Structure 1
Amino acid sequence: MTAVIVPAVVMFAIGLWGIDRGGMWRDEAVTFQVARRSAPEIWRLLHEVDAVHGLYYLLMHVVLAVPHPGEVVLRLPSACGAAVSAGLVGALGTRLGGRARVGLWAGLLYAITPLVVHYAQEGRSYALVTAGATGTTLLLLRAVEGRARRVWSGWGAYGGLLAVTCLLHEMAVLVVAAHAVTLAGLRVSRRVWGRWGCAAGFAVVVLLPLAWVSSTQSAQVGWLQVPGWRSALRVAREFLVVPMGVVFWVGVLVMLVGVTALRVSVVAVPLMVIPPALLMAASQVKPMYDDRYVLYALVGAPLLVAAGADRMAALVEGLVGRTAGRGRGRREVPQTGDHAGLRRAGRPAPGLPLSRAGASGSSGPGAGGPVALSDALVYGGTGQDAEAGPDGAAGRRPLLSPVLSLAGALVIGLVFLQYLPLYREDHTPASRPDNLATVSAIVHREVRPGDPVLFLPSIARRPALAYPKGFRGAWDIALGESGARSGTLYGREIGAEALRRRLATVDRVWVVAEPYALRGHWSPEDPADRVKLDVLRERFVPEKSRTYTVQGGVTVRLYVRRP
């Protein structure tokens, strides 16, 4: 339990540290303002935009129903999701590595990964999706092993959690491909393949309506670029905790050692590689790739690093044990580890790295049914060493093993301390693309009651939706119908001619503009936005002394009518 609880507690503590960083950025603001609408209003919105986040918005609608919701409440589910993920990584490491220290190290490595820390304080769904994907991986192993009381209840839990995870974000469906590769590596029986196919098929069928609706809203991600080698290197750097350099390549070396532990790598490698690779490949045709969409793939990296460190620690244990044995002048018992245990159990140790447990046959574990993972992969991992007697190497290991476990945890702690400035920077508003609280504060300070405010384009209305107190008393001159009533994110504006007539009645107007909106080369498609630009250029002049540019390039500027 230590390998599960300690990483979860550490992750939760890191997630809470600086969680109220003093401002929401644009994506969080969307979550905040949509989730506070009524359920029917959210449902209406999803038919037009953001269907991919529909279940998350409904979940956050419940969370933000508390009195006086704010940034902490908005981000708390992500901190909890990251903590659950860290605990599940610890459970996976323990199950696959055969030692509690593998789980402990893997869970702690996951908890200190900067990318994980970043999304643990993000008011979006990605940390929760990672928890779901990691949970389905653990349930997959339990179902394959037949550990559930009823076979179908195990596969049912797997299929149910997989469906919920995919509904939280449809890109989570790529974990199905990773699980398929894992099952192929385990060489499970046809019956297991059939049960997995039914469970995974159920999740895919549940996802199909959402996938169809979201495909009609693909213009939302039109800003994504075709990923290249730089994207792959960035993912590798983020997965290995550290930036490029000597420490990075040491991490790569340890990970490669971990790949040789087949019990771990048969699960971790597909999980780490398959989802990003598939999404990058598909994005060569239609750009859909972003690191956060496959954040759950990061789970494989700490498992491999921990497995590699465990193999190195096992070598140290062996050397110390043999040295102690020779020092006593006694004979060392040669049969240790998994093969020794198999011989004592009366089973020969085959030469293949993976047994055929679970393949078709008349006897043996998994014949015609679930396969025990320990039987399927026992020859590829380190396993729990059998006792070789008081004078052998294994007899010395119980004393050395806790020391090595603690030493590994301390090394991880040193890595955390080394990158403490990076974490501190990430816990500030400057770590996000923009800070809508700053815009709202400027408007609250500068705009007089009754002054007209013009948002250019309409998406620049985000600060007013996230922090409405700052805009209280101002006149949103272009707004015709609110977002909640119109079923849109930012509201529906009045027509171009009606807007021209309204602007003709005012002598001053405050403009809140996106970074590109006031550049001369921008040509908006929306007629109302074209009227905004034309009237501002023809009838108004800016007051440079009343111009404010904030983080992210958003501009707040006063325009007055030409003499």
Structure 2
Amino acid sequence: MLWTLACGLWGLARQDSVWRDEAATWQVAQRSTAEICHMLGNVDVVHGLYYLLMHALFECFGPGTTTLRLPSVLATGVAAACVAVVGRRLAGAPAGLAGGMTLGLLPAVQFYSQEGRSYALVAAGAGVSTLLLVTALQRRVQRRHWAAYSGVVLFAGLLNWLSLMVLAAHFVTLLWTSAGRAVLARWAVAAGCATAGVLPLIVFSRSQSGQVSWIPPLSGHMLIGPAVLLAIGGIGALLDRPRVGRLSTAAVGLPLLAVPQLGLVALSLIQPLFLDRYILYSMLGLALLIGTVVDSAVRAARPRFPQASRCILPMALAVAMLALLPQSLAKRSPASRVDDVLAVASEIQRLKQTGNGVLFIPSARRDTKSVSPDAFAGLRDIALVETPVGSGTLKGVEAAPDRIRAALLAEHRVLLVTDASPVARPVTAARDRAKAAVLRRYFTPVADEQIRGRRVTVYERGPTTR
């Protein structure tokens, strides 16, 4: 846990940058509880519990990058501790220590352990529930143990209902280890209660499925990553000499890795959903199996080279750290994310003049204003009809294209906030096409700044129009 916390705290501020996904957390967490609930009826209900948790933290400690990201760091530390304990119980101390320390080095875990979103918290829930399951299979437990298991799965499911695939992974483990009927019955009751608690969220979130319409359909190259992970995990499982009826790291780790990966692939055939962050918790299974690989090397070397065998784990960690150092440094830089909402706010403050207008293409880029309202003081939001808070949305409600056109023609100087060229998408919405057409025809760009994935262009109205 200490190792993983140290990895997570390293470069946590990311040069005071905040990207668009984290900006959503930032702006929603600063709303009142009533305003958050109003918004969840329209958008982002799948993140509702997380937003309420972050709202409480922002109320207690104030908004900032540390408050935004520290919960993910702590959750990753909990997940690593669970991997270490499970590995130690099933294969011994070297396997547990290697698996737990591996988790914090995995590139995906390094990325999301410093993310102001819920994915690391879900991974911690998966780790705790897996530890509770292993405890149940190793010793006689009471009802309160299964109640705790159900509560943890429910909590993780409310943070992200795709985490319920951990139940399928645990069911495979139960079948693999030939768990008795009593254990299966208790697990079924606990799993059923957790699923029933998450079911209303699943049903309601279907009405907001348009939010994930941007995710591309599943393609062949998307399967390369899961195939590599499953191959690595398969090697670890084989080294554990898996046998039916025996509780082992293979019986726990391989389902925890494979079932969420394959499950998300299957769901993506119905609706595109394939994003690795949705199943970050599957990395716990990978770490557990990598710990088995290291442990196998230690056991193989111990009879002939007892002294050298003690150096295998620290040497493996040192080699892994050096090999992953370029990635580790890259993931702690602002360039690791698509954009930086705070950087463009500082450009607005430098370029603006009191009384200017401001436009956002697309309207989602208004997140810069929501996170840094002081930078936009004195600017008229030309297209905005209803604020994000008032409308219960993330980006507000804009006027019809004709009204935007008329309002824009009354301006002399306009600041446009949009995406930088490398990440910009074609303008498709009618409102955005109207904004771009008027600026192109009646205004002249006099300044253009691109910084960390965002772009600010200053337009001035010419003395004549075409």
- For normalisation by structure 2, the TM-score amounts to 0.92
Offset of 1:491 from its aligned partner? 1.4
**Separation (CA, whole Å) in 1 of partners of 2:140 and 2:318:** 34
2:224 corresponds in structure 1 to 233
Amino acid at match of 1:200: A
Please say if residues 254 and 309 of structure 1, whose CA atoms lie closer than 8 Å, have aligned partners that are also in contact: no
Structure 2 counterpart of 1:522, from 407, 420, 427: 427
2:359 corresponds in structure 1 to 454
**Separation (CA, whole Å) in 2 of partners of 1:530 and 1:439:** 22
Structure 2 counterpart of 1:80, from 59, 74, 84: 74
Offset of 1:159 from its aligned partner? 0.6
Secondary structure at the counterpart of residue 506 of structure 1: coil
**Separation (CA, whole Å) in 2 of partners of 1:253 and 1:205:** 33
**Separation (CA, whole Å) in 1 of partners of 2:51 and 2:234:** 41
**Separation (CA, whole Å) in 2 of partners of 1:517 and 1:112:** 29
**Separation (CA, whole Å) in 1 of partners of 2:301 and 2:322:** 26
2:53 corresponds in structure 1 to 59
2:438 corresponds in structure 1 to 535
**What is the 5 A alignment of 1:147-158?**
147-148=140-141, 151-158=142-149
Secondary structure at the counterpart of residue 438 of structure 2: helix
Q: Which has the larger radius of gyration?
A: 1
2:450 corresponds in structure 1 to 549
Offset of 1:104 from its aligned partner? 0.5
**What is the 5 A alignment of 1:50-449?**
50-97=44-91, 99-148=92-141, 151-235=142-226, 237=228, 239=229, 255=236, 257-262=238-243, 263-319=248-304, 400=306, 404-449=309-354
Identity %: 36
Structure 1 counterpart of 2:406, from 487, 490, 501: 501
Amino acid at match of 2:441: E
Secondary structure at the counterpart of residue 65 of structure 1: helix
Q: Is 1:471 paired with 2:376?
A: yes
Offset of 1:177 from its aligned partner? 0.7
Change (3 A) 1:165 1:252: closer
Please say if residues 159 and 202 of structure 1, whose CA atoms lie closer than 8 Å, have aligned partners that are also in contact: yes
| Structure 2 unmatched ranges of 5 or more | none
Structure 2 counterpart of 1:29, from 18, 23, 26: 23
**Separation (CA, whole Å) in 2 of partners of 1:551 and 1:517:** 10
Offset of 1:74 from its aligned partner? 0.3
Secondary structure at the counterpart of residue 230 of structure 1: helix
**Separation (CA, whole Å) in 1 of partners of 2:138 and 2:330:** 44
Please say if residues 338 and 423 of structure 2, whose CA atoms lie closer than 8 Å, have aligned partners that are also in contact: no
- For normalisation by structure 1, the TM-score amounts to 0.77
Offset of 1:430 from its aligned partner? 0.5
Change (3 A) 1:426 1:314: same
**Separation (CA, whole Å) in 2 of partners of 1:54 and 1:228:** 30
**Separation (CA, whole Å) in 2 of partners of 1:517 and 1:92:** 44
Please say if residues 26 and 63 of structure 2, whose CA atoms lie closer than 8 Å, have aligned partners that are also in contact: no
**Separation (CA, whole Å) in 1 of partners of 2:113 and 2:57:** 16
Structure 2 counterpart of 1:19, from 12, 20, 28: 12
Please say if residues 76 and 124 of structure 2, whose CA atoms lie closer than 8 Å, have aligned partners that are also in contact: yes
Secondary structure at the counterpart of residue 59 of structure 2: coil
2:2 corresponds in structure 1 to 9
Please say if residues 21 and 117 of structure 2, whose CA atoms lie closer than 8 Å, have aligned partners that are also in contact: yes
1:361 corresponds in structure 2 to none
**Separation (CA, whole Å) in 2 of partners of 1:70 and 1:24:** 10
**Separation (CA, whole Å) in 2 of partners of 1:201 and 1:405:** 45
**Separation (CA, whole Å) in 1 of partners of 2:220 and 2:437:** 43
| Structure 1 unmatched ranges of 5 or more | 1-7, 241-248, 321-399
Secondary structure at the counterpart of residue 271 of structure 2: coil
- Provide Cα deviations, 1:12-40, integer angstroms capped at 9, x if missing partner: 01111110112100000000001110111
Q: Is 1:480 paired with 2:385?
A: yes
Amino acid at match of 2:419: E
- Provide Cα deviations, 1:106-137, integer angstroms capped at 9, x if missing partner: 11111211211111100000111000011101
Change (3 A) 1:534 1:105: same
RMSD between aligned alpha carbons?
A: 2.3
Offset of 1:144 from its aligned partner? 2.8
Secondary structure at the counterpart of residue 188 of structure 1: coil
Secondary structure at the counterpart of residue 414 of structure 2: strand
Change (3 A) 1:223 1:488: same
Offset of 1:142 from its aligned partner? 1.5
Please say if residues 48 and 488 of structure 1, whose CA atoms lie closer than 8 Å, have aligned partners that are also in contact: yes
Size of the alignment, in residue pairs? 458
Amino acid at match of 2:298: A
Offset of 1:509 from its aligned partner? 1.1
Please say if residues 101 and 405 of structure 1, whose CA atoms lie closer than 8 Å, have aligned partners that are also in contact: no
Offset of 1:501 from its aligned partner? 3.3
Offset of 1:254 from its aligned partner? 5.3
Moved more, 493-502 or 454-463: 493-502
Amino acid at match of 2:273: M
**Separation (CA, whole Å) in 1 of partners of 2:423 and 2:222:** 31
- Provide Cα deviations, 1:462-495, integer angstroms capped at 9, x if missing partner: 1111222322222212222221111011112234
Please say if residues 105 and 409 of structure 1, whose CA atoms lie closer than 8 Å, have aligned partners that are also in contact: no
- Provide Cα deviations, 1:316-345, integer angstroms capped at 9, x if missing partner: 33446xxxxxxxxxxxxxxxxxxxxxxxxx
